[in-house]
Amino acid sequence: MEVTNAAIVAKREELAEKTKQLGSIFEEAKVGDGKLSWKKVKSVDGGPEAVQAEVDRRGKELESLKGDLDNLILDQKTKDIDAYLNEPAGMPAMPGKSAMFKTVGERFAEGKARAAYGTPGKVAEDYDIHPKEVVGGYGVKTTMTTAAGWAPQAVRTDIVIPFATRPVQVLDLIPAGTTQQAAVVFMEETTFTNAAAETAENTAYPEAALAFTERTSTVRKIPVFIPATDEQFEDVPQIAGYLDRRLPFMLRQRLDGQVINGDGIAPNLTGILNFASLQTQAKGADPTLDALFKAYIKVAYVGFAYPSAYILNSTDWQNVRLTRTTEGIYVLGNPTDLGNTPLWGLPVAISTALAQGTAIVGDFVNFSELAYRHGINVQVGYINDDFKLGKKSVRAEVRVAFVAYRGAAFCKVTGL
C-alpha cells in the first residue's frame, strides 16, 4: 500500500533531515522542568530573538516541504475518490438521471405549486384590487397605526441555525476507496528475514525467509432515520432538502468518532486507538513537545513509516500552541501568524472525539484507508402504520470498512 517513487523518497529524506535539525535547536534550549530558553542555543548567532526567528523559519520550511510531499503522494492516488464521496446525498449522479436517482429534496420539492389567495391556478396579479376596496371608502380620516390599523406581517426567513455539535475533523486525513465485497482482505508480511550477505565463490547462498498472514477488515453499516408527517413535507418544502443534508452529516460525524475510538466489536469499526501493534509514547517527565516528537520518531524508525499528521484534543492543542520560552516568546510562532500552525512539520487535526490527555501521530496516507461498500444514500419509505398515519420515514446509511494496513505506523501519546 505504500506510495513511493524517486521524487517522494528524496522529499521524505529531506523532510526527515530538516526535522532533525529543528529538533536539535529545541534540545539545546532545554533548561529542565519542561521549559526552554533560547539563550542556551549556541548553534544560532544573534541571541533569543534570532533563535526565535530561525525556529519560525525552519517551521515554515517544514510546513512547505510537507505540503510538497503530500502533493507528490496525492498525484498517484485515484483522482475520482473525492467526487465519489462528495456526491449529493442520495444515489450518485449518473448520466440521464431519472426520478429514482433524485435526492429527497428534489423528489418532495417538485410539483408543489401554491395557488394565490386560496384559488387553484390563480396568481396575485389576476386580482383587480382598488384602493377604495382596501380602505373601505374614500375620505377616511382615522390615522392608521400598527396598533389600531393593519398589523405588519413578520415573515420568517429560511435560515436555520444548526445545533452546536462536534464537526467532522479527522476523515479528511484518511485516504478513501471503494470495495465490492463485505470485507477488505489483504496479506501482511509478518516474517522478513534478510539473509543477504557477501559470499565467496562456490559457496552456498544464504537462505532468506518470508511469511504472510491474512488480515480482514469487515464492512460495517452506520444508519440513522427520522420520521416526518406529510403535512410537514407539503407545507415546508425546504424540510426535505434540510434532512437531505443533515442526516448525512450525522453519519459522517459518527464515522469521524469511530475511526478514533471504535473498539472493533461488531458492529463497531476498529479505531486507531485499538489498532493491533499500535505504538505508545508516555509523556512522563518530558515536555509535551518532546513527547510528541518522540512519537513521531517511533512511527518513522520503529514502524518504518512516514508520519503525515497529528490528532490532538482541543485543550491539549491549546496548551501546546501557547508554549513559551522563559523569555515569553511563543515557541510555535507569533499569535499574528496566519494559517494553521504545523507541529514538527505536520498538520494538526483538532478533534474533541479524542480524549483530553491523548494525542495520535501516524502515517494516515500510506497505512490506513476508508473502503466504502457504498457511499451515503438517503431514502424515503413507510414503516408499519406510517401510511395510514400520514407519515414518512427518511433514512440514511453508509457501509464502510476502516482498514489499518500497519498498526505500528501509528503512535499514541499519553499523559499530556
Segment 384-397 shows an average pLDDT of 88
One-letter amino acid for residue 172 of the chain: D
Please give the pLDDT value at position 138.
45
Whole-angstrom Cα distance, residue 210 to residue 202?
25
- Grid cell listed for 167: 464537526
Segment 6-16 shows an average pLDDT of 84
Asked if 304 and 297 count as a contact pair (C-beta separation under 8 A), the reply is no
Please give the pLDDT value at position 152.
80
Q: Where are the beta strands (DSSP E) in 200-328?
A: 209-218, 220-229, 279-282, 309-312
248-251: list long-range contacts, CB under 8 Å, 24+ apart. 248/89, 248/376, 248/378, 248/396, 249/168, 250/224, 250/396, 251/222, 251/223, 251/224, 251/376, 251/396, 251/397, 251/398
Segment 44-48 shows an average pLDDT of 85
250-254: list long-range contacts, CB under 8 Å, 24+ apart. 250/224, 250/396, 251/222, 251/223, 251/224, 251/376, 251/396, 251/397, 251/398, 252/168, 252/171, 252/376, 253/165, 253/166, 253/167, 253/168, 254/222, 254/224
Handedness of CA 193, 199, 204, 205 (dihedral sign): positive
Asked if 247 and 406 count as a contact pair (C-beta separation under 8 A), the reply is no
Asked if 266 and 391 count as a contact pair (C-beta separation under 8 A), the reply is no
Rounded mean pLDDT of the chain?
Answer: 83
Q: Where are the beta strands (DSSP E) in 111-208?
A: 176-178, 183-193
Please give the pLDDT value at position 338.
76
DSSP 8-state symbol, 346? B
Please give the pLDDT value at position 94.
44
* Cis preceding linkage at 267, omega within 30: yes
Please give the pLDDT value at position 149.
75
Percent of the chain topping pLDDT 70: 83
Q: Would you list the DSSP string of 298-324?
A: HHHHTS-----EEEE-HHHHHHHHT-B
Beta-carbon count within 10 A of 405 CB: 18
Segment 49-75 shows an average pLDDT of 84
DSSP 8-state symbol, 208? P
Please give the pLDDT value at position 136.
45
Phi, psi at 108, each rounded to 5°: -90, -20
Please give the pLDDT value at position 66.
84
Predicted confidence (pLDDT) per residue in 187-198, tens digit: 999 999 999 999
Residue 358, SS3 per DSSP: strand
Domains of the chain as residue ranges with CATH: 79-112+159-185+217-313+351-416 (3.30.2400.10)
In this structure, of 138-147, 151-160, 202-211, the range with the lowest mean pLDDT score is 138-147
At 81, the pLDDT band (50, 70, 90 cuts) reads low
Please give the pLDDT value at position 112.
41
Q: Is the pLDDT of residue 332 over 60?
A: yes
Q: Is the pLDDT of residue 267 over 90?
A: yes
Element (H, E) at 349: strand 348-350
Would the pTM count as exceeding 0.85?
no
Asked if 211 and 191 count as a contact pair (C-beta separation under 8 A), the reply is yes
Q: Which residues pair with residue 218 across a beta bridge?
A: 183
For β-strands 348-350 and 309-312, DSSP reports them as: parallel
Please give the pLDDT value at position 271.
96
Segment 232-244 shows an average pLDDT of 87
At 2, the pLDDT band (50, 70, 90 cuts) reads low
- Grid cell listed for 206: 544464504
Percent of the chain topping pLDDT 90: 51
Segment 298-320 shows an average pLDDT of 96
- Of 146 and 224, which is predicted with more confidence? 224
- Of 194 and 3, which is predicted with more confidence? 194
At 70, the pLDDT band (50, 70, 90 cuts) reads confident
Predicted confidence (pLDDT) per residue in 100-149, tens digit: 444 444 444 444 433 333 444 444 344 343 444 444 444 455 677 777 77
Whole-angstrom Cα distance, residue 22 to residue 123?
72
- Grid cell listed for 237: 418544502
